[in-house]
Amino acid sequence: MPDRTVVPGFLKAALCAFLASFLAVPGTAQERGLSWGYNTFGVSGMIDMPTAFGHEDAEFAFIVSSFARQSRNTLTFQISPRLSAAFRYSLLYDVRPEPTSPVAEFRFDRSFSFQYRLIDEGRFRPAVAVGINDLLGTGIYAGEYVVFSKALRPDLRATLGVGWGRLGSFGSFENPLSVLGDGFKDRPGRTDIGLGGQFQYQSWFHGDAAFFGGVEWQASDQLRFVVEYSSDDYAREDGAAFEHRSPLNFGVSYQYNDRTTLTANYLYGSEFGVQLTYVINPKKPRYGSGMDTAPLPILPASGAGDWLDFTQVDSSASLSKALAQEGVALDGLEISGATLRVQVRNDRYSIASQAVGRTARVLARLAPPGVETFDIRLSVEGMPVTSVIIRRKDLEELEFHPVAPDLLRSRTRVLDTPESLQSVDERYPILSYGLDPYLIPSLFDPDSPVRLDIGVALKGRYEPLPGLVFSGVVQQKLAGNLDDITRVSDSVLPHVRSDASLYFKGGSTAISELTAAYYFRPGRNLFGRVTAGYLEGMFGGVSAEILWKPQNSRLALGAEMNYVKQRDFDRLFGFQDYEVATGHLSAYYDLGGGYLGQLDVGRYLAGDVGATLTLAREFDNGWRIGAYATVTDVSAADFGEGSFDKGILLTIPVDWVTGRPSKTKFSTVIRPVQRDGGARLGVSGRLYDMIRENQATGLDASWGRFWR
């Protein structure tokens, strides 16, 4: 146990400065004008120590820091204005896995951190935050803290905090929480060294505590200077990776642009370190509202237009051509009295409400004056989903109204539509194909943190009838090193995922998907899918799904059943002996404010039974960031490193990056470790996401795009 000391002189001075801040010129987080940074652990902080201010809501940051033979690579997301989370992958040389154990030449470490701001900064009060480091890791960086931060003036801020665990190891004193019970005096040891992945809540805020603090000064728009007193004694590294001579750290940051910051630090009286921080915010696309072509103006029915006569055979072809120019495909057409009904498919826009708006503008220009109402039916995979009923006169009256989106939505009906309109002539069969680049990353392999393959993928799709889709993807690797992975699976479970490296070694040409799928509407608020073939890179078979999702309901329920066999390692046409029946019952719930929850209960690919909880934040532009955790009847020991399956989900719409309208999205799963427990089939075309974004619940979130 480290020697306990009185509060050092530096901390006394910092404490006095902090208390004096209450008498200083008041400032708030909105007024301060100071560029708050991330510390070397990737959380809101100074150099090594945390601060109480979070970052801008939804900010997504990638931080790389290095000093004293260790590198930390962190992804941090500001989940809400008060809550942030970070996932960290560290490379450690000459470190002790335990403070008293022998020095290990090399060790990699994965860990999570959370911080929650309890109190916002006020006129006289400081911001107050509580945080936990290494929430699910092996404990190398485990520590908890309560921290107070206050702007003394717009360019100056002071921080004072108290830490436990690793953050309570230098200049420590008896835990002040021991007044709540003697159990807080000692810090229990971890119970899962080597596996990680367990909540060690019995040690949180236990054991000796220590003060930390510091001051930040924004010298200019680009330069920021920091001095801090660290309460981390680096016992695992001291004398091995470097020598801890002083608790004082000094840093300077240069903000290169609005996304990139470079930092240089002098740490612990003996080491220089560097840090790169790159931030983006899903709410702020680089191209603003995008570079879409301007929409057509609304043409009043009373004006002189090139109206189509829908009693004529060629009218549907003319309407289809006009819609195609706007990125919308015409699936069906019907006119009944003063109502024109069209069934359309959105081929271009990531936001369905924009496709509805473009369709309405075309109809307003081409429908004869006698048509008073447009019934625009959105379809997905040839299956009708939603009927958007708009009065023509509302389009004409509101086109230039200052609150047009809200007024139009209040006058628009959005209904379920289980019945398809009659297909337009010569719409089917539909054949499409293309050649696209692909990238397959592999992250956090201990032997090489980043590996990837790049190549081209030939994609083909054939739709002979509405709802019936034959599709395939053939990949040709051009370069990469995924086949260099040498780690051999030690799993005691069926190797449903842990033999992934053998698939990468199987050949440079692979059939990643080859399926026949049928999408259908069994009834009102019900949607169905049946898919057969090579469903993903590792498994083929049959998958069936049904979903109940009313238009305006936050709740959706689904069921999926699969019977699959494991594919050969060459990912061509053969199968291995392993086969399994797997499936899940699913509940989806819209929590409001863009937050979504999902619970899946069932049987996984290795035959284990359990549940997966997923929480995600979705933005109006298609971004989605989330996390999931799966716990099954497989014990932590049988699961292996990580103890249970968990990961980070990331979806980035391509149009957010390019500014050009596109439905393409890049999605990936960042897992701390890939094991066999809790593994789920990766079949394409699952119903919930593509149905929800075309229903009232999805349209309402981005209805303003109707006028784009």
pLDDT digits (tens, 9 = 90+) for 137-177: 678 899 999 999 999 988 899 999 999 999 999 999 999 99
Structural domain includes residue 438: no
**In the numeric block, which tokens belong to residue 275?**
């840090």
pLDDT tens-place string over residues 293-341: 888 888 887 765 667 776 666 678 888 899 999 999 999 898 888 999 9
What stretch of H or E contains 352?
helix 352-366
Average pLDDT, the chain: 88
Least confident of 201-205, 384-388, 444-448, 612-616: 444-448
Structural domain includes residue 60: yes
Q: Distance between CA atoms of 267 and 250, rounded to whole angstroms? A: 7
E runs forming strands in 495-573: 509-523, 526-534, 539-548, 555-567
Same domain, 32 and 94: yes
Structural domain includes residue 420: yes
**Residue 152, pLDDT score:** 92
Residues 6+ positions from 566 with CB-CB distance below 8 Å: 496, 538, 539, 575, 576, 577, 578, 579
Q: Distance between CA atoms of 242 and 233, rounded to whole angstroms? A: 12
Same domain, 71 and 168: yes
Same domain, 349 and 207: no
Q: What is the pTM of this model?
A: 0.88
Residue 576 clears pLDDT 90, i.e. is over it:
yes
**Residue 304, pLDDT score:** 53
Residue 3 clears pLDDT 50, i.e. is over it:
no
pLDDT tens-place string over residues 7-27: 344 444 444 444 443 333 343
Same domain, 84 and 213: yes
Question: Binning pLDDT at 50, 70 and 90, where does residue 637 land?
Answer: confident
Distances (CA, A) of 137 to 103, 203, 204, 461, 673: 19, 13, 14, 44, 11
Number of domains in the chain: 2
What is the mean predicted confidence (pLDDT) over 509-522? Answer: 96
Position 63, amino acid: I
Question: Binning pLDDT at 50, 70 and 90, where does residue 195 land?
Answer: low
Least confident of 42-51, 93-102, 458-467: 93-102
- Residue whose entry in the numeric block shows the structure tokens 């002790």: 96
Phi, psi of 281 (to 5 degrees): -135, 120
**Residue 27, pLDDT score:** 39
95: Cα within 13 Å, side-chain hemisphere: 18
Structural domain includes residue 328: yes
Question: Binning pLDDT at 50, 70 and 90, where does residue 128 land?
Answer: very high
Provide the residue range defining the domain that includes 108: 9-280
Least confident of 146-160, 199-213, 528-542: 199-213
Structural domain includes residue 673: no
Structural domain includes residue 346: yes
Q: Distance between CA atoms of 7 and 161, rounded to whole angstroms? A: 13
**Residue 423, pLDDT score:** 79
Residue 80 clears pLDDT 60, i.e. is over it:
yes
Same domain, 343 and 260: no
**Residue 678, pLDDT score:** 93
Same domain, 276 and 342: no
Same domain, 276 and 321: no
593, 674 in Cβ contact below 8 A? no
Pairing, β 373-380 against β 339-346 = parallel
What is the mean predicted confidence (pLDDT) over 35-61? Answer: 91
**Residue 20, pLDDT score:** 40
Boundary (domain end) residue, out of 226, 258, 280? 280
Same domain, 223 and 321: no
CATH of the domain at 134: 2.40.160.40
**Residue 386, pLDDT score:** 95
Q: Distance between CA atoms of 163 and 114, rounded to whole angstroms? A: 14
Same domain, 273 and 330: no
E runs forming strands in 381-429: 383-391, 413-416
Structural domain includes residue 216: yes
Q: Distance between CA atoms of 398 and 515, rounded to whole angstroms? A: 46
Same domain, 251 and 355: no
Q: DSSP characters for 221-287?
A: SSEEEEEEE-----TTTBTTTB----SEEEEEEEE-SSSEEEEEEEETTTEEEEEEEEEE-TTS-TT
41: Cα within 13 Å, side-chain hemisphere: 29
Same domain, 260 and 341: no
Structural domain includes residue 106: yes
Boundary (domain end) residue, out of 280, 302, 335? 280
Boundary (domain end) residue, out of 253, 280, 307? 280
pLDDT tens-place string over residues 245-276: 999 999 999 999 889 999 999 999 999 999 99
Residue 536 clears pLDDT 80, i.e. is over it:
yes
Distances (CA, A) of 51 to 163, 215, 403, 487, 580: 12, 10, 41, 40, 50
